[in-house]
Amino acid sequence: MNGVGCMNRRAGYAYAEQELLAKVQGGDVAAFEDLTRLHIRSVLRYASAVTRVRSDVEDVAQEVLLTAWRRRAGFSPERSMLPWLLVTTRNIALAANRRHARDAAESLDAVPLLQAWTQGQAQRDAADELAEVRGLIAGLSEIDQKLVELCFVQGRTFDDASSDLGLSPPAARKRIQRIRERLVAHRSTAPGLQTEN
For the domain spanning 3-105, the CATH number is 1.10.1740.10
- Domain coordinates in residue numbering, the chain: 3-105, 107-189
Stretch 145-153: mean pLDDT, rounded? 83
Instruction: Report the C-alpha gap between 38 and 194 in whole angstroms.
Output: 55
- pLDDT: is 1 or 131 the higher one? 131
What does the pLDDT read at residue 69? 92
Q: What are the tens digits of pLDDT across the range 104-139? A: 666 554 455 555 544 544 455 656 666 777 778 778
- Specify whether the CB–CB gap between 117 and 71 falls below 8 A: no
- Please give the model's pTM, rounded to 2 decimal places: 0.48
Q: Report the share of the chain in percent with pLDDT over 90.
A: 22
Nearby residues of 196 by Cβ (< 8 Å), 6 or more positions away: 120
Judged against a pLDDT cut of 90, whether residue 191 lies above it is answered with: no
Q: Which fold has domain 107-189?
A: Arc Repressor Mutant, subunit A (1.10.10)
Q: What are the tens digits of pLDDT across the range 59-91? A: 999 999 999 999 988 888 788 888 899 999 999
Q: What are the tens digits of pLDDT across the range 28-59? A: 999 999 988 989 999 999 999 988 888 999 99
What does the pLDDT read at residue 5? 42
Indicate if 107-189 has the same CATH topology as 3-105. Answer: no
Judged against a pLDDT cut of 70, whether residue 186 lies above it is answered with: yes
